Amino acid sequence: MMTRTYLLRRIGYSAAAFFVSITITFFLLHLMPGDYITNYFLSLGNTLPQETIQQFYEEFGLNLPLPQQYLNYLINIVQGHWGYSYEYSRPVLSLIWEKLGWTLIILLPATVIGIIAGSLIGAYSGWKTGTKKDLALFNIMIIIRAIPEFWWAIMAVIIFSYYLGLFPLGGYSSISVLYTGIDWLDVLYHAALPTALMAFLIATGNYYVMRNSMISVIGEDYITTARAKGLSEREILWHHAMKNAILPMVTMTTLQFASIIMGSIFIETVFSWPGLGYLTTEALRMRDLPLLEGIFLLDTLLVIAANLIADVTCSLLDPRIRTGDDGD
């Protein structure tokens, strides 16, 4: 079982990693030519009198010494004050929450489908390792993975939406939304192609993990024992091999849900889907540093939490994992 020191150590690393991320964002904000408030007013296009600006400086604590400001920044992050977006003139955190929902509409089903499909194909490939079928699958996966995500997305739009006309070209809703309000069936119709594509890409990523895991499992003694007992191949596969080989997928699943930016930025950008990935591209294009930092902090937080959860779940599921040592 999990030792307490191990858990504490993991939590310590996670906290340190988040702390480092916060420090990076703080220094970037403060190293920026001009400061946050000046840039914010510039972005609003205001020409305020000097006294007002001075007053803002004092109220926002920008006249304080740097260590004091740093402390304030830390407290603000913890309390959920993540700054204001230049472009949208809104608190960063509320903007992110709004877009997160849109991302999850395609990310959740895509991850579930992708993980199930990837695990099944990977398990089959690993189980049949060395055969022609395994080799063919493996080579196909290499080729699929070597093609960049945004190129898959563009090709999907061109083939399925432009030439075949099966799906809309992009966006999240038809133009009729202006008169009738959001029609969720219409939204699902728009979400279908990006979801399918993302599921496809997630499946190919999971294929490798599952295949490798399966290959190492079928070399284990308990598989030989199961064979010696005279169990059928089907029974060995589902009851002995699958159960053990699925373990690394726990980590994969958790991390996949967490890496929403990396996972969705290209697909959302190509399909103009109004989620976090698209917001990230917009923030880049508009040079909206506070917004981008907010997105970065959120992603860091999610990935760190996911790592922690995955570690803990894995060691709970599999007592063989030695938790006293960090594996170095």
Partner 1 sequence: MTVTRTLVLYISVAILFLYAIIAVFAPLLTPWDPHAISGTPLEKPDALHPLGTNDTGQDILSQLLYGTRITLLIGFGAAILSVVISTSVGLVTGYYGGLFDEIVSRIIDIFMTIPLFPLLLVLALFFNPSIWTMSILMGALGSTHGIRVVRSQVLSLAQSNFVEGARAIGASDFRIMTRHILPNIMPIVVVKFVTSSQHYLVMGVGLSFLGLWDTTTIDWGTMINQAYSSGGVALGLWWWLLPPGIAVVGISLALALIGYSFEEKFNPRVGVNRL
Residues in region 31-50 near partner 1 by CB under 8 A:
31-32
For the bound state, the minimum distance from the C-beta of residue 89 to partner 1, rounded and expressed in Å, comes to 19
Q: Which stretch binds partner 1 (CB under 8 A): 75-83, 139-147, 186-194, 314-322?
A: 139-147
Is there binding between residue 149 and partner 1 (CB under 8 A)?
A: yes
Among 64, 215, 223, 312, binds partner 1 (CB under 8 A): 215
Question: How many other CB atoms sit within 10 Å of the CB of residue 51?
Answer: 8
State both tokens at 230. Answer: 């005279």
Q: Which is nearer to partner 1, 116 or 124 (CB)?
A: 124
Q: Which DSSP state fits 15?
A: H
Burial of 89 per CB tally in 10 Å (0-12, 13-18, 19+): exposed
In whole angstroms, how large is the CA radius of gyration of the chain? Answer: 24
Q: Which is nearer to partner 1, 130 or 165 (CB)?
A: 130
Q: Please state, in angstroms and rounded to a whole number, the distance separating the CA atoms of residues 124 and 95.
A: 43
Residue closer to partner 1 (CB basis): 38 or 231: 38
Q: Nearer Cβ to partner 1, position 93 or 231?
A: 93
As a whole number of angstroms, the distance between CA 227 and CA 221 comes to: 10
Residue 125 in the binding site for partner 1 (CB under 8 A): no
Count of other CB atoms within 10 angstroms of residue 123? 23
Residue with tokens 């799906």: 167
Region from 229-237, 243-251, 262-270, 311-319 binding partner 1, contact rule CB under 8 A: 262-270
Task: Select from 156, 283, 311, 315 the one that contacts partner 1 (CB under 8 A).
Answer: 283
* Residue 151 engages partner 1 in binding (rule: CB under 8 A): yes
Stretch that binds partner 1, among 113-121, 136-144, 227-235, 311-319 (CB under 8 A): 136-144
Tokens of 245: 């080989």
Interface with partner 1, residue 253, by CB under 8 A: no
Told to check if 135 binds partner 1 by CB under 8 A, we report yes
Question: Least distance from C-beta 147 to partner 1, angstroms?
Answer: 5
Stretch that binds partner 1, among 48-56, 64-72, 200-208, 279-287 (CB under 8 A): 279-287
Decide whether 13 or 189 has the Cβ nearer to partner 1: 13
Q: Report the greatest alpha carbon distance in the chain.
A: 87
Q: How far is the CB of 293 from partner 1 (least distance, A)?
A: 6
CB closer to partner 1, 70 vs 138: 138
Query: Which structure tokens are listed for 200?
Result: 């496809």
Residues numbered 58 to 97 that lie near partner 1 (CB under 8 A) are: none
Task: Give me the DSSP letters along 42-60.
Answer: HHHT----HHHHHHHHHHT
Q: Which residues pair with 84 in a beta bridge?
A: 91
- Using rule CB under 8 A, residue 292 touches partner 1: yes
3-state class of 14 per DSSP? Answer: helix
* Residue 182 in tokens: 């959001």
Give the phi and the psi of residue 232 in degrees, each rounded to 5.
-75, 155
Dihedral (CA of 100, 69, 14, 3) sign: negative
Q: What is the C-alpha to C-alpha distance for residues 196 and 160, in angstroms, rounded to an integer?
A: 12
Name the site residues for partner 1 (rule: CB under 8 A).
13-14, 16-17, 20-21, 24-25, 28, 31-32, 129-130, 134-135, 138, 142-143, 145-151, 154-155, 157-158, 162, 215, 259, 261-262, 265-266, 269-270, 280-281, 283-285, 287, 289, 292-293, 295-296, 299-300, 303-304, 307, 326, 328
